[in-house]
Protein backbone atom coordinates (compact mmCIF):
# COMPACT_ATOMS: atom_id res chain seq x y z
CA UNK A 1 0.00 0.00 0.00
CA UNK A 2 1.36 3.43 -0.95
CA UNK A 3 2.25 5.65 1.95
CA UNK A 4 0.55 9.05 2.07
CA UNK A 5 2.11 12.07 3.79
CA UNK A 6 -0.08 15.14 4.13
CA UNK A 7 1.54 18.50 4.83
CA UNK A 8 -0.88 21.15 6.10
CA UNK A 9 0.38 24.71 6.08
CA UNK A 10 -1.02 26.57 9.08
CA UNK A 11 1.60 29.18 9.96
CA UNK A 12 -0.14 32.37 8.81
CA UNK A 13 -1.06 35.07 11.30
CA UNK A 14 -4.20 36.11 9.48
CA UNK A 15 -3.72 39.85 9.93
CA UNK A 16 -7.04 40.71 8.29
CA UNK A 17 -8.90 38.55 10.82
CA UNK A 18 -7.88 41.12 13.48
CA UNK A 19 -7.75 38.46 16.16
CA UNK A 20 -5.43 37.09 18.83
CA UNK A 21 -6.61 33.60 17.81
CA UNK A 22 -4.53 31.87 15.11
CA UNK A 23 -6.41 32.05 11.83
CA UNK A 24 -6.73 28.28 11.42
CA UNK A 25 -8.50 28.00 14.78
CA UNK A 26 -11.38 30.25 13.76
CA UNK A 27 -14.47 28.08 13.48
CA UNK A 28 -16.51 27.09 10.46
CA UNK A 29 -19.72 25.19 11.27
CA UNK A 30 -18.61 24.87 14.88
CA UNK A 31 -15.17 23.38 14.15
CA UNK A 32 -11.78 25.08 13.68
CA UNK A 33 -10.85 25.41 10.02
CA UNK A 34 -7.81 23.21 10.65
CA UNK A 35 -10.06 20.44 12.00
CA UNK A 36 -11.98 20.35 8.71
CA UNK A 37 -8.73 19.81 6.82
CA UNK A 38 -7.57 17.16 9.30
CA UNK A 39 -10.89 15.34 8.93
CA UNK A 40 -10.44 15.19 5.16
CA UNK A 41 -6.85 14.02 5.60
CA UNK A 42 -7.91 11.29 8.03
CA UNK A 43 -10.05 9.73 5.31
CA UNK A 44 -6.86 8.72 3.47
CA UNK A 45 -5.38 5.30 4.20
CA UNK A 46 -2.09 5.37 6.13
CA UNK A 47 -2.16 9.16 6.28
CA UNK A 48 0.79 10.70 8.13
CA UNK A 49 -0.06 14.33 8.86
CA UNK A 50 2.48 17.09 9.35
CA UNK A 51 1.14 20.51 10.35
CA UNK A 52 3.43 23.49 9.83
CA UNK A 53 2.64 26.18 12.40
CA UNK A 54 3.99 29.64 13.04
CA UNK A 55 1.88 32.35 14.60
CA UNK A 56 0.13 31.00 17.69
CA UNK A 57 1.82 27.60 17.50
CA UNK A 58 1.27 26.98 21.22
CA UNK A 59 -2.49 27.49 20.91
CA UNK A 60 -2.67 25.20 17.91
CA UNK A 61 -0.81 22.46 19.80
CA UNK A 62 -3.01 22.92 22.88
CA UNK A 63 -6.17 22.52 20.79
CA UNK A 64 -5.38 18.99 19.60
CA UNK A 65 -4.18 15.75 21.23
CA UNK A 66 -0.55 14.80 20.67
CA UNK A 67 -1.58 11.96 18.38
CA UNK A 68 -3.56 14.17 15.98
CA UNK A 69 -0.54 15.11 13.86
CA UNK A 70 3.17 15.85 13.82
CA UNK A 71 3.78 19.55 14.34
CA UNK A 72 6.74 21.56 13.08
CA UNK A 73 7.18 25.27 13.56
CA UNK A 74 8.14 27.72 10.84
CA UNK A 75 9.96 30.32 12.90
CA UNK A 76 10.14 32.80 10.01
CA UNK A 77 7.34 33.19 7.49
CA UNK A 78 9.33 33.30 4.26
CA UNK A 79 6.75 31.83 1.91
CA UNK A 80 5.05 28.55 1.15
CA UNK A 81 8.20 26.93 -0.22
CA UNK A 82 10.02 27.73 3.01
CA UNK A 83 7.08 26.34 5.02
CA UNK A 84 7.19 22.98 3.23
CA UNK A 85 10.97 22.94 3.64
CA UNK A 86 10.34 23.03 7.40
CA UNK A 87 8.38 19.79 7.14
CA UNK A 88 10.83 17.83 4.99
CA UNK A 89 12.54 16.12 7.92
CA UNK A 90 9.24 14.59 9.05
CA UNK A 91 8.28 13.04 5.70
CA UNK A 92 8.63 9.33 4.99
CA UNK A 93 10.71 7.81 2.23
CA UNK A 94 8.69 6.45 -0.68
CA UNK A 95 5.53 8.39 0.18
CA UNK A 96 3.21 10.43 -1.98
CA UNK A 97 3.01 13.91 -0.47
CA UNK A 98 0.09 16.32 -0.83
CA UNK A 99 0.28 19.92 0.39
CA UNK A 100 -2.93 21.35 1.89
CA UNK A 101 -3.76 24.59 3.68
CA UNK A 102 -5.25 25.06 7.13
CA UNK A 103 -7.23 28.10 5.97
CA UNK A 104 -8.79 26.27 3.01
CA UNK A 105 -11.20 24.18 5.08
CA UNK A 106 -13.60 22.52 2.63
CA UNK A 107 -11.23 20.34 0.63
CA UNK A 108 -12.85 16.91 0.25
CA UNK A 109 -11.38 13.40 0.56
CA UNK A 110 -12.53 12.73 -3.01
CA UNK A 111 -10.41 15.56 -4.39
CA UNK A 112 -7.41 14.56 -2.25
CA UNK A 113 -7.70 11.02 -3.64
CA UNK A 114 -7.83 12.31 -7.23
CA UNK A 115 -4.69 14.34 -6.59
CA UNK A 116 -2.77 11.40 -5.12
CA UNK A 117 -3.91 8.99 -7.85
CA UNK A 118 -2.50 11.34 -10.48
CA UNK A 119 1.03 11.08 -9.03
CA UNK A 120 3.39 8.51 -10.51
CA UNK A 121 7.00 8.22 -11.69
CA UNK A 122 6.41 10.71 -14.51
CA UNK A 123 3.73 13.06 -13.16
CA UNK A 124 3.07 15.37 -10.32
CA UNK A 125 -0.44 16.77 -9.80
CA UNK A 126 -1.72 20.29 -9.35
CA UNK A 127 -5.19 21.42 -8.32
CA UNK A 128 -6.44 24.23 -10.56
CA UNK A 129 -9.77 25.93 -11.16
CA UNK A 130 -11.34 28.28 -13.70
CA UNK A 131 -12.64 31.51 -12.15
CA UNK A 132 -14.74 34.29 -13.64
CA UNK A 133 -12.67 36.72 -11.59
CA UNK A 134 -9.13 35.38 -11.10
CA UNK A 135 -7.88 38.51 -9.33
CA UNK A 136 -5.36 37.76 -6.62
CA UNK A 137 -4.54 34.24 -7.77
CA UNK A 138 -1.48 32.82 -9.47
CA UNK A 139 -2.20 32.11 -13.14
CA UNK A 140 -1.72 28.70 -14.76
CA UNK A 141 0.46 29.03 -17.84
CA UNK A 142 0.15 26.26 -20.42
CA UNK A 143 2.29 25.58 -23.49
CA UNK A 144 1.10 25.22 -27.09
CA UNK A 145 0.13 21.60 -26.39
CA UNK A 146 -2.02 22.53 -23.40
CA UNK A 147 0.48 21.20 -20.88
CA UNK A 148 1.01 23.13 -17.64
CA UNK A 149 4.44 24.68 -17.71
CA UNK A 150 4.42 27.32 -14.96
CA UNK A 151 2.48 29.31 -12.37
CA UNK A 152 2.89 33.07 -12.33
CA UNK A 153 1.81 35.00 -9.24
CA UNK A 154 -0.39 38.00 -9.95
CA UNK A 155 2.22 40.52 -8.81
CA UNK A 156 4.74 39.01 -11.22
CA UNK A 157 2.36 38.49 -14.16
CA UNK A 158 2.41 40.51 -17.39
CA UNK A 159 -0.71 41.87 -19.05
CA UNK A 160 -1.28 38.75 -21.20
CA UNK A 161 -0.86 36.40 -18.25
CA UNK A 162 -3.34 38.41 -16.20
CA UNK A 163 -6.01 37.54 -18.76
CA UNK A 164 -5.75 33.83 -17.92
CA UNK A 165 -8.77 32.58 -15.94
CA UNK A 166 -7.31 29.23 -14.84
CA UNK A 167 -5.68 29.73 -11.47
CA UNK A 168 -3.58 27.88 -8.95
CA UNK A 169 -5.19 26.69 -5.72
CA UNK A 170 -1.85 25.98 -4.06
CA UNK A 171 -2.65 22.28 -3.59
CA UNK A 172 -0.15 19.94 -5.23
CA UNK A 173 1.03 16.36 -4.86
CA UNK A 174 4.32 14.61 -5.65
CA UNK A 175 6.70 12.10 -4.12
CA UNK A 176 8.89 12.72 -1.08
CA UNK A 177 12.03 12.16 -3.15
CA UNK A 178 11.07 14.80 -5.73
CA UNK A 179 10.16 17.27 -3.02
CA UNK A 180 13.55 16.83 -1.37
CA UNK A 181 15.34 17.21 -4.69
CA UNK A 182 13.46 20.28 -5.91
CA UNK A 183 12.76 22.44 -2.85
CA UNK A 184 16.40 23.63 -2.52
CA UNK A 185 16.19 24.93 -6.10
CA UNK A 186 13.46 27.46 -5.27
CA UNK A 187 14.72 31.05 -5.15
CA UNK A 188 13.20 34.25 -3.83
CA UNK A 189 13.76 36.53 -6.80
CA UNK A 190 10.22 37.87 -6.98
CA UNK A 191 8.16 40.88 -5.97
CA UNK A 192 7.57 39.53 -2.46
CA UNK A 193 11.08 38.25 -1.81
CA UNK A 194 9.57 34.90 -0.74
CA UNK A 195 10.14 31.26 -1.60
CA UNK A 196 7.12 30.27 -3.65
CA UNK A 197 6.08 26.62 -3.60
CA UNK A 198 4.55 27.24 -7.01
CA UNK A 199 8.04 27.47 -8.52
CA UNK A 200 8.14 23.68 -8.26
CA UNK A 201 6.01 23.52 -11.41
CA UNK A 202 8.64 25.17 -13.60
CA UNK A 203 11.36 23.10 -11.91
CA UNK A 204 9.39 19.91 -12.59
CA UNK A 205 9.00 20.84 -16.27
CA UNK A 206 12.71 21.51 -16.59
CA UNK A 207 13.34 18.07 -15.11
CA UNK A 208 11.12 16.50 -17.77
CA UNK A 209 8.10 15.81 -15.58
CA UNK A 210 4.51 16.39 -16.65
CA UNK A 211 2.02 18.23 -14.45
CA UNK A 212 -1.38 16.58 -14.26
CA UNK A 213 -4.04 19.23 -13.71
CA UNK A 214 -6.90 18.18 -11.42
CA UNK A 215 -10.14 20.10 -10.96
CA UNK A 216 -12.01 20.14 -7.62
CA UNK A 217 -15.59 18.89 -7.40
CA UNK A 218 -16.77 22.37 -6.40
CA UNK A 219 -15.23 25.83 -6.16
CA UNK A 220 -15.93 26.00 -2.41
CA UNK A 221 -13.30 23.31 -1.87
CA UNK A 222 -10.52 25.73 -2.72
CA UNK A 223 -11.83 28.93 -1.18
CA UNK A 224 -9.37 30.32 1.35
CA UNK A 225 -10.20 32.38 4.41
CA UNK A 226 -8.35 35.62 5.07
CA UNK A 227 -11.01 37.75 6.76
CA UNK A 228 -14.10 37.40 8.91
CA UNK A 229 -16.20 38.43 5.92
CA UNK A 230 -14.82 35.52 3.88
CA UNK A 231 -15.36 33.18 6.82
CA UNK A 232 -19.02 34.22 7.09
CA UNK A 233 -19.54 33.83 3.35
CA UNK A 234 -18.04 30.33 3.29
CA UNK A 235 -20.10 29.39 6.36
CA UNK A 236 -23.27 30.03 4.38
CA UNK A 237 -21.95 28.07 1.39
CA UNK A 238 -21.12 25.11 3.62
CA UNK A 239 -24.41 25.27 5.53
CA UNK A 240 -26.31 25.18 2.25
CA UNK A 241 -24.37 22.07 1.26
CA UNK A 242 -25.33 20.41 4.56
CA UNK A 243 -28.95 21.48 4.09
CA UNK A 244 -29.04 19.99 0.60
CA UNK A 245 -27.61 16.69 1.90
CA UNK A 246 -30.29 16.56 4.61
CA UNK A 247 -33.08 17.29 2.12
CA UNK A 248 -31.74 14.61 -0.22
CA UNK A 249 -32.04 12.08 2.62
CA UNK A 250 -35.76 12.77 3.08
CA UNK A 251 -36.14 15.83 5.35
CA UNK A 252 -37.92 19.02 4.27
CA UNK A 253 -36.56 22.41 5.31
CA UNK A 254 -38.76 25.50 5.38
CA UNK A 255 -35.81 27.58 4.20
CA UNK A 256 -32.42 25.94 3.53
CA UNK A 257 -30.71 29.32 3.88
CA UNK A 258 -31.84 29.46 7.51
CA UNK A 259 -30.56 26.07 8.63
CA UNK A 260 -27.43 25.64 10.76
CA UNK A 261 -25.57 22.43 11.54
CA UNK A 262 -22.44 22.29 13.69
CA UNK A 263 -21.76 18.60 13.81
CA UNK A 264 -23.50 15.51 12.44
CA UNK A 265 -27.22 15.08 11.78
CA UNK A 266 -28.55 11.62 10.93
CA UNK A 267 -32.25 11.68 10.03
CA UNK A 268 -34.96 9.35 8.81
CA UNK A 269 -37.59 10.36 6.28
CA UNK A 270 -40.62 12.64 6.06
CA UNK A 271 -39.34 15.12 8.64
CA UNK A 272 -39.95 18.85 8.58
CA UNK A 273 -37.63 21.48 10.07
CA UNK A 274 -38.76 25.09 10.26
CA UNK A 275 -36.54 28.18 10.05
CA UNK A 276 -33.61 29.17 12.27
CA UNK A 277 -32.96 25.78 13.85
CA UNK A 278 -29.46 24.90 15.10
CA UNK A 279 -28.09 21.36 15.46
CA UNK A 280 -24.84 20.80 17.36
CA UNK A 281 -22.73 17.73 18.08
CA UNK A 282 -24.28 14.43 17.05
CA UNK A 283 -28.05 14.54 16.59
CA UNK A 284 -30.15 11.62 15.40
CA UNK A 285 -33.71 12.21 14.24
CA UNK A 286 -36.26 9.49 13.50
CA UNK A 287 -38.97 9.74 10.87
CA UNK A 288 -42.09 11.92 10.65
CA UNK A 289 -40.64 14.46 13.08
CA UNK A 290 -41.73 18.09 13.06
CA UNK A 291 -39.41 20.73 14.49
CA UNK A 292 -40.73 24.28 14.85
CA UNK A 293 -38.78 27.51 14.35
CA UNK A 294 -35.89 28.72 16.49
CA UNK A 295 -35.09 25.37 18.13
CA UNK A 296 -31.62 24.27 19.29
CA UNK A 297 -30.78 20.57 19.60
CA UNK A 298 -27.41 19.34 20.87
CA UNK A 299 -26.07 15.77 21.11
CA UNK A 300 -29.52 14.21 21.38
CA UNK A 301 -31.73 11.48 19.95
CA UNK A 302 -35.21 12.34 18.70
CA UNK A 303 -37.61 9.41 18.17
CA UNK A 304 -40.23 8.88 15.47
CA UNK A 305 -43.27 11.12 15.22
CA UNK A 306 -41.99 13.68 17.72
CA UNK A 307 -43.29 17.25 17.60
CA UNK A 308 -40.91 19.94 18.86
CA UNK A 309 -42.60 23.30 19.01
CA UNK A 310 -41.00 26.74 18.61
CA UNK A 311 -38.08 27.97 20.72
CA UNK A 312 -37.34 24.65 22.41
CA UNK A 313 -33.81 23.77 23.56
CA UNK A 314 -32.73 20.12 23.89
CA UNK A 315 -29.27 19.13 25.19
CA UNK A 316 -27.79 15.65 25.60
CA UNK A 317 -31.17 14.00 25.98
CA UNK A 318 -33.30 11.20 24.54
CA UNK A 319 -36.81 11.93 23.30
CA UNK A 320 -39.14 8.96 22.86
CA UNK A 321 -41.52 8.34 19.98
CA UNK A 322 -44.58 10.60 19.59
CA UNK A 323 -43.47 12.99 22.35
CA UNK A 324 -44.60 16.62 22.19
CA UNK A 325 -42.28 19.36 23.47
CA UNK A 326 -42.62 23.11 23.85
CA UNK A 327 -43.04 25.79 22.87
CA UNK A 328 -40.29 27.33 24.99
CA UNK A 329 -39.32 24.08 26.72
CA UNK A 330 -35.78 23.53 27.98
CA UNK A 331 -34.64 19.91 28.07
CA UNK A 332 -31.31 19.80 29.88
CA UNK A 333 -28.66 17.05 29.87
CA UNK A 334 -29.60 13.62 31.15
CA UNK A 335 -33.31 13.87 30.37
CA UNK A 336 -35.00 10.74 29.02
CA UNK A 337 -38.55 11.21 27.83
CA UNK A 338 -40.62 8.10 27.13
CA UNK A 339 -43.07 7.68 24.28
CA UNK A 340 -46.24 9.78 24.13
CA UNK A 341 -44.90 12.17 26.75
CA UNK A 342 -45.64 15.90 26.85
CA UNK A 343 -43.34 18.62 28.11
CA UNK A 344 -45.02 21.95 27.55
CA UNK A 345 -44.29 25.64 27.52
CA UNK A 346 -41.78 27.03 30.00
CA UNK A 347 -40.99 23.61 31.45
CA UNK A 348 -37.39 22.81 32.37
CA UNK A 349 -36.14 19.27 32.94
CA UNK A 350 -32.69 18.14 34.01
CA UNK A 351 -31.52 14.55 34.54
CA UNK A 352 -35.16 13.51 34.55
CA UNK A 353 -36.52 10.12 33.49
CA UNK A 354 -40.13 10.53 32.39
CA UNK A 355 -42.19 7.41 31.76
CA UNK A 356 -44.46 6.70 28.83
CA UNK A 357 -47.58 8.85 28.62
CA UNK A 358 -46.55 11.25 31.38
CA UNK A 359 -47.21 14.99 31.10
CA UNK A 360 -45.50 18.10 32.43
CA UNK A 361 -47.59 20.59 30.61
CA UNK A 362 -46.37 24.02 31.67
CA UNK A 363 -44.40 26.28 33.99
CA UNK A 364 -42.61 23.56 35.97
CA UNK A 365 -39.09 22.45 36.89
CA UNK A 366 -38.36 18.72 37.15
CA UNK A 367 -34.75 17.90 37.96
CA UNK A 368 -33.03 14.79 39.33
CA UNK A 369 -36.34 12.96 39.17
CA UNK A 370 -37.82 9.70 37.99
CA UNK A 371 -41.46 9.73 36.91
CA UNK A 372 -43.38 6.56 36.15
CA UNK A 373 -45.95 6.11 33.42
CA UNK A 374 -49.05 8.29 33.00
CA UNK A 375 -47.98 10.83 35.62
CA UNK A 376 -49.57 14.29 35.44
CA UNK A 377 -47.55 17.20 36.81
CA UNK A 378 -49.52 20.41 37.27
CA UNK A 379 -48.41 23.94 36.45
CA UNK A 380 -45.92 25.62 38.75
CA UNK A 381 -44.59 22.38 40.24
CA UNK A 382 -40.94 22.18 41.19
CA UNK A 383 -38.71 19.40 42.46
CA UNK A 384 -36.40 20.95 45.06
CA UNK A 385 -33.37 18.83 44.25
CA UNK A 386 -30.54 20.95 45.68
CA UNK A 387 -29.92 21.62 49.36
CA UNK A 388 -27.07 24.03 48.76
CA UNK A 389 -24.45 21.29 48.76
CA UNK A 390 -25.83 18.04 47.31
CA UNK A 391 -28.42 16.99 44.74
CA UNK A 392 -31.30 14.70 45.77
CA UNK A 393 -33.78 12.59 43.85
CA UNK A 394 -37.56 12.75 43.55
CA UNK A 395 -39.46 9.58 42.64
CA UNK A 396 -43.06 9.66 41.40
CA UNK A 397 -44.91 6.39 40.82
CA UNK A 398 -47.16 5.39 37.93
CA UNK A 399 -50.52 7.14 37.51
CA UNK A 400 -49.73 9.79 40.12
CA UNK A 401 -51.19 13.29 39.99
CA UNK A 402 -49.22 16.31 41.21
CA UNK A 403 -51.45 19.33 41.68
CA UNK A 404 -50.51 22.79 40.47
CA UNK A 405 -48.05 24.91 42.39
CA UNK A 406 -46.70 21.98 44.41
CA UNK A 407 -43.22 21.89 45.90
CA UNK A 408 -41.57 18.46 46.23
CA UNK A 409 -38.57 18.66 48.58
CA UNK A 410 -36.13 15.89 47.70
CA UNK A 411 -35.28 13.26 48.63
CA UNK A 412 -38.92 12.30 48.47
CA UNK A 413 -41.12 9.66 46.83
CA UNK A 414 -44.72 9.60 45.69
CA UNK A 415 -46.21 6.10 45.51
CA UNK A 416 -48.20 4.57 42.67
CA UNK A 417 -51.57 6.31 42.23
CA UNK A 418 -50.45 9.03 44.65
CA UNK A 419 -52.27 12.35 44.61
CA UNK A 420 -50.76 15.64 45.78
CA UNK A 421 -53.24 18.45 46.34
CA UNK A 422 -52.55 21.76 44.59
CA UNK A 423 -50.41 24.21 46.51
CA UNK A 424 -48.84 21.53 48.72
CA UNK A 425 -45.29 21.37 50.03
CA UNK A 426 -44.27 17.71 50.26
CA UNK A 427 -41.21 16.77 52.29
CA UNK A 428 -41.94 13.14 53.23
CA UNK A 429 -43.18 9.99 51.50
CA UNK A 430 -46.66 9.85 50.02
CA UNK A 431 -47.74 6.18 50.16
CA UNK A 432 -49.35 4.47 47.17
CA UNK A 433 -52.94 5.50 46.64
CA UNK A 434 -52.87 8.30 49.24
CA UNK A 435 -53.94 11.93 48.94
CA UNK A 436 -51.40 14.30 50.45
CA UNK A 437 -52.30 17.86 51.42
CA UNK A 438 -49.40 19.98 52.58
CA UNK A 439 -50.90 23.47 52.76
CA UNK A 440 -50.82 26.05 55.54
CA UNK A 441 -54.19 26.37 57.23
CA UNK A 442 -56.36 29.03 55.63
CA UNK A 443 -57.68 31.87 57.80
CA UNK A 444 -60.41 34.31 56.81
CA UNK A 445 -60.33 37.64 58.71
CA UNK A 446 -63.64 39.56 58.70
CA UNK A 447 -63.80 43.35 58.57
CA UNK A 448 -60.35 43.70 57.06
CA UNK A 449 -59.63 47.01 55.39
CA UNK A 450 -57.06 47.60 52.71
CA UNK A 451 -54.17 49.93 53.47
CA UNK A 452 -54.48 53.45 52.12
CA UNK A 453 -51.78 55.76 50.85
CA UNK A 454 -50.51 58.31 53.32
CA UNK A 455 -51.05 61.93 52.34
Long-range pairs, 300-305, Cβ under 8 A, ≥24: 300/331, 303/339, 304/268
Please name which of 293, 123, 284, 288 lies closest in space to residue 211, comparing C-alpha atoms.
Answer: 123
3 state SS of 271:
strand
- Cβ proximity of 333 and 315 under 8 Å: yes
Query: Running DSSP on this structure, what letter comes out for residue 56?
Result: B
Instruction: Enumerate residues 6+ apart whose C-beta is below 8 A from 382.
Output: 364, 365, 366, 406, 407, 408
List the one residue out of 389, 347, 354, 388 whose CA is nearest residue 368.
354
CA distances from 318 to 297, 331, 415 (A): 11, 9, 25
Q: Choose among 277, 309, 275, 276: nearest CA to 290.
A: 309
Q: Are 292 and 275 in contact (CB under 8 A)?
A: no
With H, G, I as helix, E, B as strand and everything else as coil, classify residue 347.
coil
Q: What is the dihedral of CA 241, 242, 245, 246, to 10 degrees?
A: -140
Q: Which helix (H) or strand (E) holds 130?
A: strand 123-130
Question: Hey, how many other C-beta atoms are within 10 angstroms of the C-beta on 178?
Answer: 18
Closest CA to 222 of 23, 40, 61: 40
Q: Work out the end-to-end distance of the chain between its first and last CA atoms, rounded to an integer number of angstroms.
A: 96
Catalytic residues: 362
In whole angstroms, give the CA distance from residue 319 to residue 338.
Answer: 7
Q: CA-to-CA distance for 419 and 399, rounded, in angstroms? A: 9
Q: Is 389 helix (H, G, I), strand (E, B) or coil?
A: coil
Amino acid sequence: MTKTDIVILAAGKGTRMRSQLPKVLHKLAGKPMLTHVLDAANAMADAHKVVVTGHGAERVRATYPESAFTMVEQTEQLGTGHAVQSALGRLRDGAKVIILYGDVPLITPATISKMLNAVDEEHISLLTIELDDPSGYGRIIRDDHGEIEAIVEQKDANSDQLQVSEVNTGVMALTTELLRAWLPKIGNQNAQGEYYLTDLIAIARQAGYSIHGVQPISASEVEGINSRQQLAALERVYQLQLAEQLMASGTSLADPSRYDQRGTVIAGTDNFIDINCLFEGTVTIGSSVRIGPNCQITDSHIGDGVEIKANTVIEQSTIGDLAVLGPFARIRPGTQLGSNTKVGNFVETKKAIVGNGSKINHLSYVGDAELGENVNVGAGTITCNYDGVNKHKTEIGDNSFIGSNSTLIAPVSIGVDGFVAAGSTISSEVPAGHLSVGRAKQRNIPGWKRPTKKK
